[in-house]
């Protein structure tokens, strides 16, 4: 949402989102994530907004205000300096205050979130969850935060036993030893009692009204940023000479609606980029693969036993169903004892933390997953499996994957699952039915202390083997009669997730081979990169038209199509400027289909309560309607401490018709002219002259002026 740079839009969307969550019986949303995106390989980057603390805090505040307006709690996270998953972040006190704590400070001041989640990482060697400084001194005392503070799953490191509903004696011991007090417990219980009032087991309802669909579509389009349009290929209109479009790339037929981890929920439906632009497209080609694990096997599965529809059947036993159930045995018999519980499922990936009838199924259990596998192509197929525990996969009674003997631990299922094992099956026929069974035991998973209670999980993938070089050649051949090629590439939730960081910034597979070949075959190529964090683009100088899109939710495909066909408009540093580095695409950058002119910058005098405003005029000087973001940066050239050349302090978005102009105003407070002094342990505002810049990006200054403060002061808190 950070590319939107639009507080009102974020507020509206999250207000509507809150209504939807209420219908779904949701009491609390474990978001927003306001991690500062300092590391480009950070696993949480796809959930986060930006690396700028002011933008981060303002978007988070709008998100929280909108969401909580209908009674559902938001949870601001991950507090604090969570730039990578588990390492200790070594940060100076000034950097902590100005960069990492600042977005939390802004959001808590402007929105009052009802809950806050602690990060896994340490800060300067200390776990935040056990830190008096961060939890009590800063959060509770200095900022006056009254909401609930929670750990991130198992993010508790003290040796003191954590009491739960099953450990009342631990509470008594902690009280007797004065490790906690009755008033502490009362305070925590009181916070939980202030939740939404939605029944815990209330019915889950959907809401897919035209209003919701339109807002989701607009939100997706708003997050697309035009980075290059050298040949003015875009936008595509009814008068355009472009009539036939070839759609290519691994992300074209898939809608990756979010990053991975707990943020990756099951959507009711998705619109892929290919579906979004199919009215204008000629044909599509695969190009190359980009998956980290094999794609879900769901499209090729049919319910077993002659049942209609897609899916599989899960059976659970509390005791070993037969002596050879989990063994590789040619004598294994499917004749087993009656199961304790069974259920159909349409999923090929599930983490059974809930949904299983625990009154009938024990924590340690044996599971059989049965389905019918129906390939859609002749050829060799790859099957992939990872599980929590031990398992074997059989196809027509033949062992294909063995995960029963000392399976290697991997990153799946929050680092408690096995590695993904892939095996090839030769000569499968399209349309033929193959009986697929997985036999699983979760005993090893339970013994080693699972991350969450439950019955474990599995992930089944399938992919028809392709020759990578042939796939690229076929993609190039598809361009022969096309007026335009659209490549939809990037990464997805398999590469961006909580629980692990990126190995590097490279695009997976042969994407970096595919794109130059397509550009060479057809210079009229639009490249759409989808990612939630930075990626390496070695072909960027060859690309005439380049868009960056993020994870656009259910309507992501429509959002991309709306940009290509002109139904949406785009908008879219400290360290780079200090080191004299010119990034390819600077902070705040984004092209439009029209042009804008800035004029008449002015600043009101700084008031006694340290408030002031910056005003300027924006005019649309082009032929198309559009939206522009006016960004206000402040610099303190005479600061007693080293300061960045300029810092973003406010922004506003203006909608303009051709020839129209509007006056825009950005309201600012003492935060805009403060820095943190570690010696005084306070925020400092120094008397002097401040430089004010009105910009279209951090590198594109349009106007400049100054303002003066006669008397300095210090402050703490919000």
Residue 402: φ, ψ to 5°: -110, 110
- Coil, strand or helix at 517: helix
- Coil, strand or helix at 232: coil
Give the bridge partners for 384, in sequence order: 422, 461
Instruction: For residue 235, say if its preceding peptide bond is cis, omega within 30 degrees of 0.
Output: yes
Select from 17, 6, 11, 10 the least CA-distant residue to 212: 17
Cα–Cα distance, 665 to 269 (Å, whole number): 40
Cα–Cα distance, 118 to 334 (Å, whole number): 48
Cα–Cα distance, 546 to 586 (Å, whole number): 15
Select from 112, 110, 88, 89 the least CA-distant residue to 99: 89
Q: Which residues are catalytic?
A: 152
- Coil, strand or helix at 565: coil
60: how many CB neighbours lie within 10 A of its CB?
Answer: 30
125: how many CB neighbours lie within 10 A of its CB?
Answer: 8
CA 397, 402, 406, 409 torsion-angle sign: negative
Cα–Cα distance, 296 to 385 (Å, whole number): 10
155: how many CB neighbours lie within 10 A of its CB?
Answer: 17
Classify burial at 580, counting beta carbons within 10 Å of its beta carbon; exposed 0-12, middle 13-18, buried 19 or more: exposed
Beta strands in 396-543 (DSSP E): 398-403, 421-428, 434-441, 457-464, 484-490, 525-530
Cα of first residue to Cα of last residue in the chain, in angstroms, is: 25
Residue 60: φ, ψ to 5°: -60, -40
Give the bridge partners for 487, in sequence order: 248, 527
Count CA atoms closer than 13 A to 499's CA, side-chain side: 21
Token pair 């059974």 in the structure block, residue: 352
Q: H/E element holding 682? A: strand 682-685
Select from 320, 302, 322, 321 the least CA-distant residue to 312: 302
Cα–Cα distance, 145 to 625 (Å, whole number): 43
Cα–Cα distance, 312 to 233 (Å, whole number): 46
Task: Tell me which DSSP letter residue 30 carries.
Answer: -
Q: Which residues contact 279 (CB under 8 A, 6 or more apart)?
A: none
Cα–Cα distance, 119 to 81 (Å, whole number): 8
């Amino acid at each position: 949402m950070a590319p939107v740079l639009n507080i009102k839009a974020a507020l509206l969307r999250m207000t509507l989102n809150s209504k939807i969550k209420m219908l779904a019986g949701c009491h609390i949303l474990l978001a927003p994530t306001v991690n500062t995106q300092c590391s480009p390989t950070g696993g949480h980057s796809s959930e986060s907004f930006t690396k700028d603390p002011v933008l981060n805090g303002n978007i988070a505040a709008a998100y929280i205000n909108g969401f909580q307006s209908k009674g559902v709690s938001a949870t601001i996270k991950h507090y604090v300096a969570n730039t990578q998953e588990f390492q200790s972040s070594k940060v100076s006190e000034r950097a902590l205050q100005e960069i990492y704590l600042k977005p939390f400070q802004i959001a808590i001041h402007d929105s009052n979130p009802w809950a806050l989640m602690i990060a896994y990482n340490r800060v300067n060697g200390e776990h935040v969850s056990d830190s008096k400084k961060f939890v009590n001194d800063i959060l509770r005392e200095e900022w006056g935060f009254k909401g609930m503070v929670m750990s991130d799953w198992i993010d508790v490191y003290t040796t003191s036993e954590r009491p739960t509903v099953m450990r009342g004696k631990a509470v008594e011991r902690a009280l007797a030893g004065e490790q906690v007090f009755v008033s502490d417990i009362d305070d925590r219980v009181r916070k939980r009692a202030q939740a939404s009032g939605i029944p815990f087991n209330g019915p889950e309802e959907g809401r897919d009204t035209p209003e919701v669909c339109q807002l989701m579509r607009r939100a997706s389009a708003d997050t697309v940023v035009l980075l290059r349009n050298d040949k003015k290929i875009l936008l595509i209109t009814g008068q355009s000479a472009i009539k036939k479009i070839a759609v290519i790339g691994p992300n074209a037929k898939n809608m990756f609606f979010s990053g991975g981890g707990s943020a990756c929920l099951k959507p009711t439906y998705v619109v892929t980029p290919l579906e979004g632009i199919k009215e204008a497209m000629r044909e599509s080609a695969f190009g190359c693969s980009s998956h980290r694990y094999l794609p879900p096997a769901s499209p090729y599965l049919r319910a077993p036993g002659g049942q209609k529809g897609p899916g599989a059947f899960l059976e659970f036993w509390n005791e070993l169903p037969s002596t050879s159930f989990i063994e590789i045995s040619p004598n294994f018999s499917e004749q087993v004892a009656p199961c304790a519980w069974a259920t159909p499922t349409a999923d090929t990936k599930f983490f059974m933390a809930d949904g299983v009838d625990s009154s009938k199924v024990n924590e340690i259990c044996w599971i059989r997953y049965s389905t019918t596998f129906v390939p859609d192509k002749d050829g060799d197929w790859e099957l992939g499996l990872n599980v929590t525990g031990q398992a074997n996969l059989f196809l027509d009674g033949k062992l294909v994957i063995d995960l029963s003997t000392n399976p290697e631990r991997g990153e799946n299922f929050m680092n408690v699952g096995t590695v993904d094992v892939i095996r090839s099956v030769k000569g499968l026929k399209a349309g033929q039915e193959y009986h697929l069974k997985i036999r699983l035991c979760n005993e090893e998973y339970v013994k080693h202390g699972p991350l969450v209670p439950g019955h474990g999980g599995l992930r089944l993938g399938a992919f028809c083997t392709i020759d990578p070089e042939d796939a690229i050649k076929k993609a190039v051949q598809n361009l022969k009669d096309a007026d335009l090629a659209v490549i939809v590439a990037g990464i997805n939730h398999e590469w961006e997730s909580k629980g692990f960081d990126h190995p590097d910034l490279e695009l997976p597979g042969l994407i970096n081979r595919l794109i130059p070949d397509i550009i060479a075959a057809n210079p009229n190529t639009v490249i759409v990169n989808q990612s939630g964090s930075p990626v390496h683009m070695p072909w960027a100088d060859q690309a005439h038209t380049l868009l960056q899109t993020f994870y656009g939710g259910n309507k992501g495909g429509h959002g991309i199509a709306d940009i290509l066909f002109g139904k949406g408009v785009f908008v879219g540093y400290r360290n780079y400027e200090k080191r004299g580095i010119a990034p390819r695409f600077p902070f705040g950058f984004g092209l439009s289909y029209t042009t804008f002119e800035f004029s008449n910058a002015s600043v009101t005098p700084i008031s006694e309560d340290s408030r002031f405003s910056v005003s300027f005029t924006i005019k649309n000087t082009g032929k198309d309607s559009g939206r522009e973001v006016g960004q206000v940066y402040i610099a303190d050239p005479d600061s007693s401490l080293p300061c960045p050349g300029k810092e973003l302090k406010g922004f506003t978005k203006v909608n303009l018709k051709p020839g129209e102009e509007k006056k825009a105003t950005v309201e600012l407070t003492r935060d805009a002219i403060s820095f943190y002094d570690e010696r005084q342990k306070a925020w400092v505002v120094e008397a002097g002259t401040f430089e004010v810049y009105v910009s279209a990006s951090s590198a594109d200054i349009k106007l400049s002026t100054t303002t003066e403060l006669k008397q300095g002061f210090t402050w703490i808190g919000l």
